C-alpha cells in the first residue's frame, strides 16, 4: 500500500499557507491599508514620504469627527490626506487667523502657528449648493494642517467632500520608524 503521509503533510502545509494568504488579502482589502503621504500639506503632523495605517471600515457605522485625519478620493481617482474641520450642519469661517464654527471661535493646536488665509463659508459653498449657509448632510469640510500649502476644501475642484468619497481614517504612522506611533 502506498505511503500518503508526505502527500497529506504537503496538503496540510499548503492549506495553512493559502489560509494565511487569504486572511492577509482580506485584511488589506476590507479592513486597513498602508497609505503613503505625498506632499507637505499635512505638515507638521505628517510629512512627505510618511506611511500611515488607514482603517477602511472606520466610517461604516459612524461618521467622521472633527480633527480626524482621513483619506479620500476625488472624481479623478486622486487620493488626498486631510483633516476634517467642518461637519454637516455647521458654518465654517476663517478670519484673522482664527477658525469660527457657527460663529464661535475654535482653537486649532495642530496648525503650528501657520496663518490660514481668510475665507467665508459662502466662498466654499455658494447659496445654490448650500441654501441655508450650512454644510449639507453627509458632506465635510477638510483642510490640510499646512494651510498655506494645501489643496483642500477651499479649492473649487475639491470643495466639500461627500462621506462616500472617504476611504478611511489614518490612525498610526509606520514610516519613518523613528516616528512610529499613533497619529494625533
153 is catalytic: no
Distance CA 125, CA 147 (A): 19
Between CA 95 and CA 98 the distance in angstroms is 5
**Residue from 82, 134, 139, 169 carrying the catalytic annotation:** 82
Q: Are 94 and 119 in contact, with CB atoms under 8 Å apart?
A: yes
Catalytic site residue 77?
Answer: no
Task: Decide: residue 38, CB within 10 A, 0-12 exposed, 13-18 middle, 19+ buried.
Answer: middle
Q: Among 41, 54, 150, 153, which one carries the catalytic annotation?
A: 41
List Cβ neighbours of 46 (8 Å cut-off, separation of 6 or more).
Answer: 37, 52, 69, 81, 145, 170, 173, 183
Residues with a catalytic annotation lie at 41, 82
Amino acid at each position: 500500500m502506498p505511503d500518503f503521509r508526505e502527500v497529506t503533510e504537503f496538503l496540510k502545509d499548503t492549506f495553512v499557507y493559502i489560509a494565511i494568504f487569504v486572511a492577509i488579502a482580506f485584511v488589506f482589502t476590507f479592513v486597513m491599508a498602508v497609505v503613503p503621504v505625498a506632499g507637505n500639506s499635512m505638515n507638521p503632523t505628517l510629512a512627505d514620504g510618511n506611511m500611515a495605517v488607514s482603517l477602511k471600515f472606520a466610517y461604516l457605522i459612524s461618521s467622521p469627527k472633527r480633527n480626524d485625519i482621513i483619506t479620500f478620493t476625488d472624481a479623478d481617482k486622486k487620493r488626498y490626506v486631510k483633516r476634517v474641520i467642518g461637519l454637516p450642519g455647521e458654518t465654517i469661517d476663517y478670519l484673522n487667523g482664527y477658525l469660527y464654527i457657527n460663529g464661535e471661535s475654535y482653537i486649532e493646536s495642530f496648525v503650528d502657528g501657520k496663518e490660514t488665509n481668510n475665507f467665508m463659508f459662502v466662498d466654499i459653498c455658494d447659496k445654490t449648493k448650500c441654501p441655508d449657509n450650512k454644510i449639507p448632510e453627509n458632506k465635510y469640510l477638510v483642510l490640510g494642517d499646512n494651510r498655506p500649502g494645501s489643496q483642500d476644501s477651499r479649492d473649487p475642484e475639491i470643495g466639500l467632500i461627500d462621506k462616500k468619497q472617504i476611504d478611511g481614517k489614518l490612525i498610526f504612522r509606520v514610516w519613518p520608524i523613528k516616528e512610529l506611533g499613533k497619529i494625533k
